[in-house]
Amino acid sequence: MSIMRKNNQSRESNPTDKIMTRREAVAVGTAAAVAATAVRSVAAKTSAPSAPPVAVASRNGLVAVRRAVERMEAGISPVEAAVQGVAVVEADPDDTSVGFGGLPNSEGVVQLDACCMDGPTMRAGAVAALEGYMHPAQVAYEIMRRTTRVLLVGEGAARFAKSLGFPEEELLTDRARKIWLYWKGQMSGVDDWIAPPDLVDDPDVQRFIKKNGPVRPTGTINLCAVDGQHDVGGTTTTSGLAFKIPGRVGDSPLIGAGLFVDNEVGAAGSTGRGESVIQISGAHTVVEFMRAGQSPRDACLGALDRLVRATRVHYLLDRDGRPNFNVQFYALNRMGEAAGAAIWAGSKYSFCRSGEEARLMDCASLYPTIAPWKKDLK
């Protein structure tokens, strides 16, 4: 009997050698794919030399990126460092786009949104329409850390925060209240509200008018970080579009829109008109462009180009067919290369590398000019 025939007889007589069912085949294939991904991730990490921690954020994150880098230098994970970094901005009453002092919705109530994501595990946490708690990014982090869920909203998010002992606080500052009352008084000539002269002349209101003109601000802070072992994490936190419809949720707390993190590639986040970012899954799009080999700068510009081409309704376009709003993307790859880009020129982003001072950098832009409504404010 030949060796081949013996081997065939051996296989035929082995009761464990049988044709797999489709379900078994899928299970084996899935396990193999997971194992292959783990091997690639470990191989990538072991093949790359250690590097200084890096953090990138929106313009209002200059202090936050410095703190995030310091925390990574102390040994904490990038996602936790990012959350601790933005906590400084969430607690700043002078920043009216985030946390304490954020501008309220149309009814004068501050509603906060945030998310965070961990690159090594790809776990995430998020809150939306959270009222009464200053640090939504920290609440999102605890959702990621303590539960098997990702997003909690409204009253459910508030109950979760309360159960963990987060202090409940009044978030509407006097400054934000005055700006909201001015907005109500200027909305219409046929409703019951007016803006009295002393309110119009108030220094806080005048600064708001000079900075924003007729455009409602959409400020947010996004922060992405990578440590010396090339692990990546990030967070996005906001009070949302000023004077929004109560319950409105933009891109900031949505994984894949306002933030996306993948340890094999890097991280990205956004600020600006959230609905437009949601439509193209903005942060995920940036990361996928980087996965395909693009630099963080080119990946941000590529996602912005897709966003502009997806903007087709007349009320979002100016007379030249260009967006009448702005969006910024921020990105870094796992090697610590970072960039920011915007639809219109003039935006900046915050950057910090271990051993260096935190600094503002110019964003690349699709259009070489500043937004037309910004020209009117000069």
Catalytic residues: 220
Structure-token pair, residue 243: 């004077």
CA distance 352 to 338: 10
DSSP letters spanning 197-259: HHHHT-HHHHHHHHHHTTSPP---EEEEEE-TT--EEEEEEE--STTPPTT---STTSBTTTE
Structure-token pair, residue 197: 């002269």
Identity at 375, one-letter amino acid code: K
Identity at 237, one-letter amino acid code: T
Question: Please, which residues bridge with residue 126 across strands?
Answer: 115, 151
Residue 239 vs residues 54, 90, 109, 124, 358: alpha-carbon distances, Å? 26, 9, 10, 20, 25
Give me the residue label for tokens 């953090």: 55
Structure-token pair, residue 106: 């149309």
Check: CB of residue 109 under 8 Å from CB of residue 185.
Answer: no
CA distance 251 to 281: 9
Q: How many Cβ atoms sit within 10 Å of the Cβ of residue 146?
A: 12
Output phi, psi for 112, to 5 deg: -110, 145
Give me the residue label for tokens 């002393």: 198
Residue 321 exposed, middle or buried by CB count within 10 Å (0-12, 13-18, 19+): exposed
Strands (E), the chain: 54-58, 112-118, 124-130, 151-153, 221-226, 232-238, 259-262, 266-272, 327-333, 338-342, 348-353, 359-362, 364-365
Local structure of 23: helix, strand or coil: helix
